[in-house]
Structure 1
Amino acid sequence: MKHAKTAFTILFLLLLGGFLFIWIQREIEFREELESRPLPDSLHPIVAEKSRELVEEAEEIGIDIVITDGFRSFEEQDALHQQGRTSGGNIVTYAEPGESYHNYGLAIDFALKLDDGSVVWDIERDGNGNGRSDWFEVAEIGKDLGFDWGGDWNRFKDYPHLEMTFGLSIRELQQGWRPEDTME
């Protein structure tokens, strides 16, 4: 009986070891495959479509907006991050290259467009005359379309910013995770 128990234990440990070896091997292969995924070079298709819808729905209520920024390369992110630090201008971002959803094609920035074609970032403007801030009306449309709005953030308010994270953190995106290209 003792030998049978020992044999069973050895067999169990061998099977467990084999299972763990296969699992670790697959995990390594999966991580390598993730890390080799290329970075996007444009807006995610769903973010691009929802951006168009945002512009159209804002226009329907008398608010003209322009998308001022979308996909941003790591180089563009670095230049923007240097603004107000090592180059002139005000600090406009705290995100370094690879730390912004813009770098993965998952974020846009917008501004209000005036009749003369100029662009303003006036969060109190009520150009459509309905007693509500145009900026906040656009943010609500964005949220209804599935965007998260930077104006809702606690630490730093980024009023022009809308993003779709698809449940992925910046760390996961840095590791190579990418959202699907289709709506569920």
Structure 2
Amino acid sequence: MPEQIHARVEACYQQAEAFFKRAFPRPEVSFKLRGQKAGVAHLHENKLRFNPQLYRENRDDFLKQTVAHEVAHLIAHQLFGPRIQPHGEEWQLIMRGVYELPPNRCHTYEVKRRKTTRYLYRCACPDNDFPFSPQRHALVAQGRRYYCRRCRVTLVFSGEQRQE
């Protein structure tokens, strides 16, 4: 996996160098990105981070569009400085002019949400469950109290959990 992304990053840099007739320093490339973002460019550190899960699930478009998108951020920063808008006209110029790709701000990859446990709390109201996150459940265990806005009774853990 990293070899294909590294090769595409290098190809994007060579395209930009041919287009602008100047050299650009190569970035550090990391594959430690999770969640909804496909890629992130750290402008001041000259670093790119990519989401390996989204790469595996969207290989072709990821290599073509996402890698060029992130490289274009670094190129724009190095050419035009730190005061430009992240997806402004300078970045769009690079996406259209250098890479001949649409300057899409966001990807359309399906992002699977991780399952999480919810702890069900109740009050005096009939048929009223309050699903607490693990973090909020831990705060209750440390002594924090939460109240129902309707009946003003302290919410109590029912002993039930569910996966969402």
Q: Shared fold by TM > 0.5?
A: no
TM (norm. structure 2) is 0.33
TM (norm. structure 1) is 0.30
Higher helix share: 1
